[in-house]
Structure 1
Amino acid sequence: MWRDGEERGPIDFVQVFQSYKALPHQNAALNWLEQASQPKTLEGFFRMWRDWQAVPKSNTIRLKVPYYQQVDNRYEPMRTCNTSSCAMVARFLGAKISGDDEYYKIVRKYGDTTDHTAQTKALAQIGIKSTWHTNLGFADLDKSLEAGLPIVIGILHRGTLASPTGGHMIVVIGRTGRRDYICHDPFGSLLDAGGGYRGPVNNGNGVVYPRSVLNHRWLPEGKNSGWGRLFYKR
């Protein structure tokens, strides 16, 4: 029953709020509704409204980054994860390279494949701007992915989650709806049965690494302790 006694059916509040334009009569109606509502009703409404606004984006993102294995590299196949990872992103961003073998030759002009400064200079030569960091976190991954940019990160790929060791570079190419991360791992998959990297190398193509795993293997010293390379649009 409406205030004038006329039966008009239930109020569609979604439609009401869609037509809200902060007009004087609309504000007056909202003020009246606030005064007429029970405190618990208002508390529940505002809590749901606030929490809904705070929900982070959770849609799946998967960038179309090419996958390069490192184990088939012509040069130093067991230690060129950094070069293969950077080459994947460079090709995605439009660099005119045929693959990671060609890119390796450019890297060697500036230093070793494991040298992050050499990688920065090699990428710059082929028109790719990037920066190396040692203080990244999940928020940086999300921001970059949402901008359409992959990230190369350094993980501890050996040992247990409790005591991770090693050093390995991979590419983060996306994020699942559960906020785990889709990766191109040039050496295979950490998640292979029996301790990781025991199955076909192609298992690393688009492998989903859970956030819980990366917490240990990418952020072993805290939430902003991640090593990684950020890229910028050309």
Structure 2
Amino acid sequence: MPLTPEGWTLLKTWEGCRLSAYPDPASGAAPWTIGYGHTGAEVVPGLTITQEQAEAWLKQDVAEAAAAVDRLLISVTLTPRQRDALISFCFNVGAGALERSTLRKRLLAGESSADVIAEELPRWNKGPKSPLEGLKRRRAAEVSHAQTSEAAAPQTQTARSASVPSHEPIQLLDAVHHHKGLAHQQEAWLQLERSLTAEQRGAFAEMFRTPASPSNATSQPELPGLIELPVPYLSQNDSATSQGPRMCFSSSCAMAAAFVKPDALRGPGQLDDQYLALVQRHSDTTDANAQVKALQSLGLQARFRTDGSSEDLIEQLKRGLPCPVGWLHKGPVSAPKGGGHWSLAIGWDPAKRQFLMHDPNGEADLVNGGYVTTSIGSGAGQRYSERNWGRRWMVEGAGSGWWIEISPGA
């Protein structure tokens, strides 16, 4: 198993997905990259691929990174999430860098895996001339991911934990409730998934994401805890069109569409550029009605609303549905202003009262206004506090947030 489900989310969030080949940022030329950070002789200028090809290459590349971690750290005891973090790191810097690293030397010497990862990963943040903010945040996310596994049972790279399996039947809702991300639990879910046909998986996804009717909504059990939907990230700042600086609304809706209906956008070029072309058939990228019509043209149900509350977003996220949200990103949090900005709510952390957000423009400064950085990919998986972000979203008081309610079509 290359990664835990949370590990896939970590890696895909920080890699991002681009369906058109782009040059190396440092050289402006080779190596050219496409999809989720895929490079190779087949990646040439002008190449465009489908989302399916990007996913296929991702699985291949992650398998190679996982094999390198297992081979280079064969005697090291790691929790599943520590292994996730190191695979994400290896995927990013390469197996050669891992092999030569002080991190590997310290782990093979028997030092604490938790300490070594926390101390060594942040050092790998250098760009051609200076540390890069994006790499600093990625390394911090990898360290945080590794640290969340301390309560889980350790796993070595050479053998599974020896335990006596129980063959008693189990109710799947009980399995969901008791799921803690342990290695044997992940393997059981993957085995169950492999046993289903594509039609069965599609039917499950549709039912899982479809809102419950009012008559039975209260009877469904609620599962507390972190919500983090594995939505593909799109940056408005790498658009091949001239609309990049003003297409936050389109990029946010495109991310939602690509997750709720993965096969909806299949043409050449970047997904949000494809989606923008649909919007422009109706009106400008800033027009909410045009956005709704574009989403509906993809077979989705969509409604523009100006009555949003935190509870509305959390309820949608519990149903497995991301939410495009419109808010004021300029001025101090005490007096927000501006023409408005759109991002995509992809999760909720009840312990910290934070919304997980794919911000197509980068990392926002919620306190002072504006942006800390707008570099490509920097807005993936941002954590925006309910307190500060909420004041920029519900500027007219509780229950006044702008949002697009999206659900699968009939």
Name the TM-score class by shorter chain: 0.7 to 0.9
Alignment check: 8 A CA contact 1:189 1:201 kept = no
Distance of 1:120 and 1:71 partners within structure 2: 22
1:185 counterpart = 2:359:
yes
1:9-39 CA-to-partner distances (Å, cap 9, x unmatched) read xxxxxxxxxxxxxxxxxxxxxxxxxxxxxxx
Distance of 2:368 and 2:280 partners within structure 1: 35
Aligned to 2:99: none
Shift of 1:159: 0.7
May I ask how many residue pairs the two structures share in their alignment? 179
1:170 counterpart = 2:336:
no
The match for 1:96 among 264, 268, 287 is 264
Equivalent residues in 2 for 1:24-35, closer than 5 Å: none
Rg comparison, structure with higher value: 1
**Percent of residue pairs identical:** 36
Aligned to 2:295: 123
Aligned to 1:205: 380
Equivalent residues in 2 for 1:34-73, closer than 5 Å: 58-73=224-239
Distance of 1:178 and 1:218 partners within structure 2: 18
Shift of 1:203: 2.2
Alignment check: 8 A CA contact 1:157 1:190 kept = yes
Q: Normalized against structure 2, the TM-score is what?
A: 0.42
Distance of 1:92 and 1:184 partners within structure 2: 12
The 1:139/1:192 distance shift into structure 2, 3 A limit, reads: closer
Alignment check: 8 A CA contact 2:333 2:368 kept = no
SS at match of 1:202: coil
1:119-173 CA-to-partner distances (Å, cap 9, x unmatched) read 1111111111111000110110011001110100001001100111120000000
Shift of 1:58: 4.5
1:194-222 CA-to-partner distances (Å, cap 9, x unmatched) read 85423234221000000111221001111
Shift of 1:74: 2.0
Q: Which runs of 5+ in 2 are unaligned?
A: 1-221
Equivalent residues in 2 for 1:150-169, closer than 5 Å: 150-166=322-338, 167-169=340-342
Q: Which amino acid aligns with 1:120?
A: V
The 1:81/1:103 distance shift into structure 2, 3 A limit, reads: same
Distance of 2:314 and 2:229 partners within structure 1: 13
1:229 counterpart = 2:404:
yes
SS at match of 1:231: strand
Alignment check: 8 A CA contact 2:304 2:403 kept = yes
The 1:57/1:178 distance shift into structure 2, 3 A limit, reads: farther
Q: Which amino acid aligns with 1:103?
A: Y
Aligned to 1:38: none
The match for 1:107 among 275, 279, 299 is 279
The 1:212/1:201 distance shift into structure 2, 3 A limit, reads: farther
1:84-142 CA-to-partner distances (Å, cap 9, x unmatched) read 00000000012421400111111111111011111111111111111100011011001
Q: Which runs of 4+ in 1 moved over 6 A?
A: none
Alignment check: 8 A CA contact 1:189 1:203 kept = yes
Distance of 1:196 and 1:203 partners within structure 2: 14
